[in-house]
């Protein structure tokens, strides 16, 4: 459910934005509210499972996630939907770490490796199937059923967990949980995200600047707190390892670029190019198939040449893929989206397995669970921040280019006024005249191209980090 939701909602966003009459920034919050809870509190979710029982937290998280899903499906307005997504994210931050912790608790040796492999394979399958299933459901039943689809799965999961999973906990866990650190990182990230998202609508006024400063201060306070508390939710000592720090810096840059690009691609396909949600979902399949296929070989190939070469090649290829979104002549599927997603998929397929293997090999065995949790949280926080920052960038470029395109098209005053009234919806601006639509959609495409080039630069920065922090022979998988 957690992994399907991360991909399906991106396909549903253009449709639900149009149906609910939401602004583009409201649509941003549908993703950001969920990811904020999931990314900022995932490490706390793992600690709660260790302390109070992994099965109990897993079942509780599933129930909360299902409740949030039902409320999302029933949402009468965009603001109600955003609040329901917060609840969904709270359930997900309990479910995801508890599921892996249960595997770690009840499997040992080769059996644990097979169990984790099965878990990883199923997440890959849901990532691949999610957009296709979601697009089909949206076109035939409506976007609300994307959320209702979670309910029968949740009922089955809870029933199976109660019947078949024994309880487990870490009996050595004592002392207070790091509630202060968890609150500070959540509020800090929330402040930064709010500042960038809101700046796309109101600019950098006193409110947005204050939120940004407050968020940064809280994040710095979080680091200070983690260095002092007895049981930090994110022990900073683990970052003393150069390879581990480099891998997480790479993850932050690369997954930030990935999250931002694929947040906006469905808007281009559905609202600008006019494809159905089903086609937009199917368009994700080549990208996912390349990652799944190439990951089987790239991990083994890294044994022979070392992960540094693989990671440099993979991230550089991914950067080229992002750049294609911004540089190809048009953004129709076969001439723009498809070739860019193929190159991006090849790059990510060369990167994912060596990155994960290097991360695991860079820390002692007893810290693998913690390291995996931190890396997962870093990837989600990266997407959270990148979507906010690039969303503000796209809004700025859109507004500038819209003014220029309106002037170039010499639109009558009535047409100008109609576009101005719907400006906040960006690509979903409710104008009917073909020339008016061309002006709006052209400005949105201009903004997307700038975002794509920015994402390419982030991926290129991850290439530089890999080259600088990983030695040729160090952290070789195995």
Q: Which residue has the higher pLDDT, 344 or 471?
A: 344
Helix (H) or strand (E) holding 408: helix 368-409
**What is the tens place of the pLDDT at every residue in 395-407?**
999 999 999 999 9
Task: Tell me the mean pLDDT in the region 162-166.
Answer: 91
What would the mean pLDDT of 427-445 be, rounded to a whole number?
Answer: 91
Does the pLDDT at position 221 exceed 70? Answer: yes
Kindly state the average pLDDT of the residues 95-122: 74
DSSP 334: I
Average pLDDT over residues 293-308: 76
Write out pLDDT tens, residues 179-201: 898 999 999 999 999 999 888 77
**Which element (helix H / strand E) includes 152?**
helix 150-164
Whether the predicted pLDDT of 476 surpasses 50: no
Q: Give a three-class secondary structure readout of 63-129.
A: HHHHHHHHHHHHCCCHHHHHHHHHHHHHHHHHHHHHHHHHHHHHCCHHHHHHHHHHHHHHHHHHHHH
Better pLDDT: 366 or 317: 317
Q: What contacts 374, CB < 8 A, 6 or more positions away?
A: 43, 234, 238, 248
Is-contact 41 375, C-beta < 8 A? no
More confident of the two residues 416 and 202: 416
The reported pLDDT for the residue numbered 61 is: 94
Helices (H), 231-337: 242-267, 277-282, 285-305, 307-327
Give me the count of residues in the chain.
478
CATH topology for the 1-165 domain: Growth Hormone; Chain: A; (1.20.1250)
- Give residue 305's pLDDT: 75
Quick count: other Cβ atoms within 10 Å of Cβ 172?
6
Q: What is the mean pLDDT of the chain?
A: 87
> Residues 443-455, buried b or exposed e (16+ Cβ, 10 A)?
bbbbbbbbbbebb
Alpha helices in 410-433 (DSSP H): 413-421
Residue (of 390, 421, 388, 419) closest to 403 by Cα position? 419
pLDDT computed for residue 475 by the predictor:
43
% of residues, the chain, pLDDT over 90: 50
- Tell me the CA distances in angstroms from 448 to 147, 265, 394, 397, one per residue in order: 28, 8, 6, 9
> Of 200, 238, 246, which is closest to residue 393 (Cα–Cα)?
200
Mean pLDDT of 408-428: 89
Mean pLDDT for the stretch of residues 149-158: 94
* Band of residue 325 on the pLDDT scale cut at 50, 70, 90: very high
- Which pLDDT value is given to residue 128? 66
Q: What is the DSSP string of 427-448?
A: GG----SHHHHHHHHHHHHHHH
DSSP state letter for 166: P
Compute, in degrees rounded to 10, the torsion defined by CA atoms 203, 207, 211, 212: 40
What digits encode the pLDDT tens for the residues 364-393?
A: 766 776 787 888 889 889 999 999 999 999
Higher per-residue confidence, 474 vs 131: 131
Q: Output the six-digit token pair for 187.
A: 């509020």
pLDDT tops 90 at residue 302: no
Q: Around Cβ 226, how many Cβ atoms within 10 Å?
A: 19
Does the domain at 238-478 match CATH 1.20.1250.20? Answer given as yes
Element housing 449 (H / E): helix 434-469
Q: How confident is the model at residue 127 (pLDDT cuts 50, 70, 90)?
A: low
Question: For the residues 116-140, what does the mean pLDDT come to?
Answer: 76
How far apart are alpha carbons 49 and 97 in whole angstroms? 8
**CB contact set of 375 (below 8 Å; sequence gap of 6+):** 247, 248, 251, 356, 359
Mean pLDDT in residue range 294-319:
83
Name, in order, each residue with C-beta under 8 angstroms of 455's C-beta and a sequence gap of 6 or more. 256, 257, 258, 260, 261, 322, 325, 386, 390
250: pLDDT strictly greater than 60? yes
Count how many Cα atoms sit within 13 Å of the Cα of residue 233 in the half-sphere of its side chain.
Answer: 26
Q: What is residue 478's predicted lDDT score, i.e. its pLDDT? A: 38
Supply the DSSP symbol for 229: S
Sketch the domain layout of the chain as residue ranges.
1-165, 178-232, 238-478
Look at residue 447 and tell me whether its pLDDT is greater than 50: yes
Three-state DSSP state, 23: coil
- Indicate whether 277 pLDDT > 60: yes
Average pLDDT over residues 212-238: 91
pLDDT of the residue at 172: 64
Summarize the confidence of residues 241-267 as an average pLDDT: 93
Max distance between CA atoms of the chain, in angstroms, equals 73
pLDDT tens digits for range 25-74 = 899 999 999 999 988 888 888 888 888 888 999 999 999 999 999 999 99
- Asked if residue 170 has pLDDT above 60, the reply is yes
User: 19 φ, ψ to 5°?
Assistant: -70, -40
Q: Do domains 1-165 and 238-478 have the same CATH topology?
A: yes
Our CA dihedral for 8, 360, 455, 182, rounded to 10 degrees, sits at 70
Place of tokens 């459901």: 137
């Amino acid at each position: 459910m957690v992994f399907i939701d991360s991909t399906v909602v991106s396909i549903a966003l253009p449709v639900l934005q149009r149906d609910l009459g939401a602004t583009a920034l409201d649509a941003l919050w549908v993703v950001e509210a969920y990811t904020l809870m999931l990314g900022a509190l995932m490490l706390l979710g793992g600690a709660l499972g260790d302390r109070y029982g992994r099965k109990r937290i897993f079942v509780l998280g599933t129930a909360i996630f299902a409740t949030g899903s039902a409320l999302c499906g029933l949402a009468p307005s965009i603001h109600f939907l955003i609040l329901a997504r917060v609840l969904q994210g709270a359930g997900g931050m309990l479910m995801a770490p508890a599921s892996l912790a249960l595997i770690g608790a009840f499997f040992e040796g080769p059996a644990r490796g097979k169990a984790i492999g099965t878990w990883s394979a199923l997440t890959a399958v849901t990532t691949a199937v999610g957009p296709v299933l979601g697009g089909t459901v949206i076109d035939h039943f409506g976007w609300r059923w994307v959320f209702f689809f979670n309910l029968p799965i949740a009922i089955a999961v809870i029933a199976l967990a109660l019947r078949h999973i024994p309880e487990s906990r870490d009996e050595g866990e004592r002392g207070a949980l790091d509630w202060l650190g968890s609150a500070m990182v959540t509020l800090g990230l929330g402040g930064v995200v709010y500042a960038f998202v809101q700046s796309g609508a109101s600019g950098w006024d006193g409110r947005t600047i204050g939120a940004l400063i407050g968020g940064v201060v809280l994040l710095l306070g979080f680091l200070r707190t983690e260095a002092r508390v007895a049981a930090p939710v994110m022990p900073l000592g683990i970052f003393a390892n150069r390879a581990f720090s480099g891998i997480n810096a790479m993850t932050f840059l690369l997954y930030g670029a990935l999250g931002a690009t694929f947040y906006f691609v469905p808007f281009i396909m559905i609202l600008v190019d006019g494809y159905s949600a089903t086609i937009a979902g199917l368009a994700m399949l080549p990208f996912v198939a390349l990652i799944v296929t190439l990951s089987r070989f790239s991990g083994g190939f890294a044994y022979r040449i070392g992960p540094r070469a693989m990671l440099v090649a993979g991230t550089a290829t991914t950067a080229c893929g992002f750049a294609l979104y911004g540089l190809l002549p048009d953004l129709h599927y076969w001439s723009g989206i498809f070739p860019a997603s193929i190159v991006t998929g090849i790059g990510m397929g060369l990167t994912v397995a060596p990155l994960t293997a290097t991360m695991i090999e860079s820390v002692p065995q007893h810290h693998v669970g913690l390291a995996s949790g931190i890396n997962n949280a870093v990837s989600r926080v990266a997407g959270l921040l990148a979507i906010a920052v690039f969303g503000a960038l796209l809004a700025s470029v859109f507004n500038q280019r819209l003014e220029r395109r309106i002037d170039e098209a010499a639109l009558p005053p009535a047409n100008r006024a109609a576009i101005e009234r719907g400006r906040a919806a960006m690509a979903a601006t409710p104008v009917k005249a073909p020339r008016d639509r061309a002006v709006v959609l052209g400005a949105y495409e201009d903004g997307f191209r700038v975002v794509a080039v920015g994402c390419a630069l982030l991926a290129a920065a991850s290439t530089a980090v890999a080259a600088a922090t990983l030695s040729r022979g160090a952290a070789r998988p195995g």
